[in-house]
Copies of this chain bind each other. A is one copy, B any other.
Amino acid sequence: MVLSRIILGLLAIAPMTGYDLKRHFDSTVGHFWSADRAQIYRTLARLVADGHAEVEKVPGERAPDRQEHRITAAGRAALAEWLAGEPERHVERDPFLARVFFGDGLDDDGLRSLLARRREEVRARLERFEGMRSEAAAPDRAARLRLATLDNGLAHLRTELAWLDEVEEEFA
Contact = CB atoms under 8 A, between A and B. Distances in A.
A144 interface: yes
Contacts of A5: 98, 102
B101 A96 contact: no
B33 A145 contact: no
B32 A104 contact: no
A29 interface: yes
A23 to B, nearest CB: 16
**Main SS at interface, chain A:** helix
Interface residues of A, number: 63
Contacts of A87: 95-96, 99, 114, 117-118
Interface in A113-172: 114, 117-118, 121, 140-142, 144-146, 148-149, 151-153, 155-156, 158-160, 162-163, 166-167, 170-171
